[in-house]
């Protein structure tokens, strides 16, 4: 049997492939139909928020922070309601992480403010004595890449039918609409308006100057993203 | 039957099938070695006598 | 053509060997910097605040993992493939100009891809998926690379003289097929630039999967990338190099058959253990947990086969540092393939997940099993490629003990750190409130992070000794005759 296979490389390779592919076929494929439906209250990311998400990814925040609250009392006490599959329906890629060098961030928007993030990102140990998180001063200088985020929005709207410009239900019964501009200029202008709201709560002079000049610093986009994690 | 039930049945019977194959195979290996039908252990020499001029363990014949 | 006797041609194997040694040093240096950063955050700014964007933990982390996995280990795998492949098939690369060209193209495209990866990780161009951080242009390059390796494998097999494929070849084939499958499915992504008529960065892409599905595919990949880059090819090495170096045929060829097919079937199921208590369906989590425990059997099948190969020959462990490396590697293999399933048990995982215990587990496998086996394989091959004896046996022995001490410091400190932190996260006071704030559970780890950094530094020192020993072996140690290269590797004092 296998003795026969070892002398026939082609059939050997086919046999190996069938055996290793079997698990994926049974385990992963059938669940694709079920697992990506959004929960009530889930909404797509706005241009500024998605830009912030890309900043989060660019700096590999997910190397030290999870976004997955497990259903234990100790976790729900610390971070809030445990995670549900439908909450992640608009997360491409997922950012669960695999290590909690720092705390979970799944619902950080519920208990941290713009002001807190601003001070913390500039110098973490000043806000949390004993913190081993590095400082992120360059986020205050670098200009965020709104265009790439907008391109990503267009693609997910087209390919995965992500509901932009659509009324979506929320948990308290009200409706919410996440706008997606028709043009790149429109998207930039919208993101800048959102950024002004965030920057209004910030003190850093570089940030204020950049916003005044019509640019969005990475830190503003990142905070917009963190604030919406709820 | 929904897809999950099908999956469960499919999985169970395929695994049972593979377990049967595995044990049958173990039996086959050891009995054919014992009866002298086949010598598996000689293939260990593939690693030991691996100089290009060493004798072949089993020559690759043309008809394969 | 001049009339020379046919010999094995190690040109390509040598190229990959140089790269393995160089990237091994660089990747582990990055790891040691990361370890010190966690103990003392000032190390995030080693090159000054202006360059902190490129030297901080987040950016360096991917460079460390990718360079040791895909730089150090993969180079070593390919070096051994271009060595072992010829020998057990009894065919020389010199016999086929085509395969020689493919081999060289394989190497140089790999080097180009590696350089692009380092630059892109430094700039933060990443898809965020662990061990698969590369954006789509690099992913496409990896496909080309992989196809070239495939041509090399099946090309060499096609012109072989031995009819039967040796155990090691099975594992190389499995590595090739499985990684191809995993890479293609996990990196299913849509380039945004082209679909939008040129908006944003041209290299950006968005994943085909969302949320829970994305996690499922990623950890099916993540777990099995470990299986098929850090396990099966290393098993391939141990099935060849341990018997060859010790002069003992593998203990049981039949057991190796069973262990191989068992491992192929079981390994792919176990990925779910990375997602316990997450939002993937429960039955999948249970499946991941159960199969992880079953996985002990085929893993130990190979490891026990290695140990029994040494039956009656244990004096070789005392006399040869090379055998020491391989036996210690097999021991660590047994150890980490027992530790892994324990961590995959749900109640243990509830404590261990997200903590440093997982990091410790990865490293006793990576440093103890993979690192040691790779080091032994390169030490065995060098004298045969360069026709010179190993430069220094005593340096090699010293390296062995320094690195062993390093690994022990590493995993013991991470055990304590992980379990301490896991216990503190879940501790409640008498009123049912959380007993510790998060920062309490960070500051308590400082001594363990320091010990880990020392352990990692020791391992890196050992690597430097290895690189020096190899350099001297290649360039200036005593020239040996073919007859001295039969089994035990010749070594200078």
Domain coordinates in residue numbering, chain A: 2-32, 47-228
C358 touches chain A (CB under 8 A): yes
CATH for the A47-228 domain, from 3.90.580.10, 1.10.3720.10, 3.50.50.60, 1.10.760.10: 1.10.760.10
Whether residue C243 and residue B44 make contact (CB cut-off 8 A), yes or no, is yes
In C, minimum Cα distance to A92 occurs at C210
In A, minimum Cα distance to B5 occurs at A30
In B, minimum Cα distance to C266 occurs at B15
Question: Which chains border C (3 or more CB–CB pairs < 8 Å)?
Answer: A, B
Segment C307-337, tens digit of pLDDT: 999 999 999 999 999 999 999 999 999 999 9
A173 touches chain C (CB under 8 A): no
Give the number of domains in chain C: 1
Q: Judge whether C377 lies within some domain.
A: yes
Q: How close is the nearest chain A Cα to the Cα of B25, in Å?
A: 8
Contacts of C244 in chain B (CB under 8 A): 47-48, 50
Segment C52-97, tens digit of pLDDT: 999 999 999 999 999 999 999 999 999 999 999 999 999 999 999 9
**Do A40 and C198 touch, CB atoms closer than 8 A?**
no
Residues of chain B with a CB closer than 8 angstroms to some CB in chain C: 4, 8, 18, 22, 25-26, 29-30, 33, 40-41, 43-48, 50-54, 56-61, 64
Range of the domain at C244: 11-197+208-478
CA atoms of C190 and C206, how far apart (whole Å)? 5
In B, minimum Cα distance to A30 occurs at B3
Chunk chain A into consecutive blocks of 10 residues (it has 230) and report each block's average pLDDT, rounded to whole numbers. Answer: 78 90 74 74 95 97 96 95 94 95 96 96 96 96 96 95 93 92 96 97 96 96 96
B40 touches chain A (CB under 8 A): yes
Q: pLDDT confidence of B55, banded at 50, 70, 90?
A: confident
Q: Judge whether C1 lies within some domain.
A: no
Q: How close is the nearest chain B Cα to the Cα of A1, in Å?
A: 8
Q: Is the pLDDT of residue B64 over 80?
A: no
Nearest to C90 among B33, B56, B64 (CB): B56
Q: pLDDT confidence of B23, banded at 50, 70, 90?
A: confident
Contacts of C195 in chain A (CB under 8 A): 151, 154-155, 158-159
Q: Judge whether C4 lies within some domain.
A: no
Q: Judge whether C202 lies within some domain.
A: no
B27 touches chain A (CB under 8 A): no
Looking up residue C472, the CATH number of its domain turns out to be 1.20.210.10
pLDDT value of residue C226: 79
């Amino acid at each position: 049997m296998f003795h026969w296979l070892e002398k026939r490389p082609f059939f050997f390779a086919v046999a190996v492939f069938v055996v290793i592919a079997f698990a994926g076929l049974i385990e992963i494929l059938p669940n694709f139909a079920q697992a990506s439906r959004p929960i009530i209250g889930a909404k797509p990311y706005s241009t500024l928020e998605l830009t912030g998400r890309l900043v989060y990814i660019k700096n590999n925040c997910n190397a030290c922070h999870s976004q997955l609250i497990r259903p234990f009392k100790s976790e729900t006490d610390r971070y809030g309601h445990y995670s549900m599959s439908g909450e992640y329906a608009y997360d491409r890629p997922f950012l669960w992480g695999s290590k909690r060098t720092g705390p979970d961030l799944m619902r950080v928007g519920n208990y941290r403010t713009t002001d807190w993030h601003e001070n913390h990102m500039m110098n973490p140990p000043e806000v949390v004595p004993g913190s081993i998180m590095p400082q992120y001063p360059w986020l205050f200088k670098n200009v965020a890449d709104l265009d790439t985020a907008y391109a990503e929005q267009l693609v997910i709207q087209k390919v995965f039918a992500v509901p932009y410009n659509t009324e979506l239900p929320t948990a308290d019964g009200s409706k919410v609409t996440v706008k997606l501009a028709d043009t790149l200029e429109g998207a930039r202008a919208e993101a800048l308006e959102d950024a002004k709201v965030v920057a209004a709560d910030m003190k850093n002079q570089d940030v204020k100057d950049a916003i005044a000049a019509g640019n969005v610093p990475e830190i503003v986009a990142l905070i917009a993203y963190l604030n919406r994690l709820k | 039957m929904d897809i999950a039930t099908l999956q469960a049945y499919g999985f169970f019977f395929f695994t049972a099938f593979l377990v049967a194959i595995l044990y049958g195979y173990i039996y086959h290996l050891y009995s054919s070695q014992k009866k002298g039908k086949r010598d598996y252990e000689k293939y260990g020499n593939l690693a030991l006598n691996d100089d290009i001029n060493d004798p072949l363990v089993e020559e690759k014949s043309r008809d394969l | 053509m001049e009339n020379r006797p046919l010999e094995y041609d190690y040109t390509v194997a040598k190229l990959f060997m140089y790269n393995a040694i160089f990237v091994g040093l660089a990747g582990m240096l990055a790891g040691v910097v990361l370890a010190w950063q966690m103990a003392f955050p000032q190390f995030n700014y080693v090159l000054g605040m202006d360059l902190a964007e490129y030297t901080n933990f987040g950016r360096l982390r991917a460079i460390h993992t990718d360079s040791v996995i895909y730089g150090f280990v993969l180079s070593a795998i390919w070096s051994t493939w271009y060595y072992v492949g010829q020998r057990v098939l009894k065919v020389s690369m010199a016999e086929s100009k085509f395969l020689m060209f493919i081999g060289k193209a394989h190497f140089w495209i790999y080097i180009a891809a590696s350089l692009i990866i380092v630059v892109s990780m430094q700039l933060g161009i990443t898809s965020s998926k662990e061990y698969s951080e590369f954006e789509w242009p690099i992913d496409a390059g990896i496909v080309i690379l992989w196809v070239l390796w495939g041509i090399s494998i099946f090309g060499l097999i096609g012109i072989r003289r031995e009819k039967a494929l040796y155990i090691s070849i099975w594992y190389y084939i499995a590595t090739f097929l499985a990684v191809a499958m995993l890479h293609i499915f996990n990196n299913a992504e849509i380039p945004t630039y082209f679909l939008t008529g040129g908006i944003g960065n041209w290299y950006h892409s968005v994943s085909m999967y969302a949320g829970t599905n994305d996690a499922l595919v990623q950890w099916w990949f993540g777990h099995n990338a470990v299986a098929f880059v850090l396990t099966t090819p290393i098993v391939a090495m141990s099935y060849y190099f341990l018997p060859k170096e010790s002069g003992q045929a593998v203990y049981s060829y039949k057991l190796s058959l069973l262990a191989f097919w068992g491992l192929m079937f079981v390994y792919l199921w176990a990925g779910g253990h990375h997602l316990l208590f997450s939002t993937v369906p429960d039955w999948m989590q249970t499946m991941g947990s159960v199969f992880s425990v079953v996985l002990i059997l085929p893993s130990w099948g190979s490891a026990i086969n290695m140990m029994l190969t040494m039956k009656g020959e244990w004096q070789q462990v005392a006399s040869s540092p090379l055998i020491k490396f391989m036996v210690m590697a097999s021991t660590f293999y047994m150890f980490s393939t027992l530790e892994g399933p324990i961590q995959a048990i749900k109640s243990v995982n509830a404590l261990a997940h997200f903590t440093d215990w997982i990091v410790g587990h990865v490293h006793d496998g990576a440093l103890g099993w993979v690192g040691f086996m790779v080091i032994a394989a390169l030490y065995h091959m060098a004298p045969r490629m360069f026709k010179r004896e190993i430069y220094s046996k005593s340096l090699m022995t010293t390296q062995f003990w320094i690195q062993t001490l390093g690994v022990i410091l590493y995993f013991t400190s991470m055990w304590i750190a992980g379990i301490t932190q896991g216990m503190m996260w879940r501790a409640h006071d008498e009123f049912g409130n959380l007993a510790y704030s998060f920062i309490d559970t960070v500051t308590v780890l400082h001594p363990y992070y320091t010990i880990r950094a020392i352990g990692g530094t020791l391992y890196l020192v050992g690597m430097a000794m290895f690189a020096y020993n190899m350099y001297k072996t290649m360039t200036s140690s005593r020239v040996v005759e073919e007859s001295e290269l039969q089994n035990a590797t010749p070594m200078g004092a």
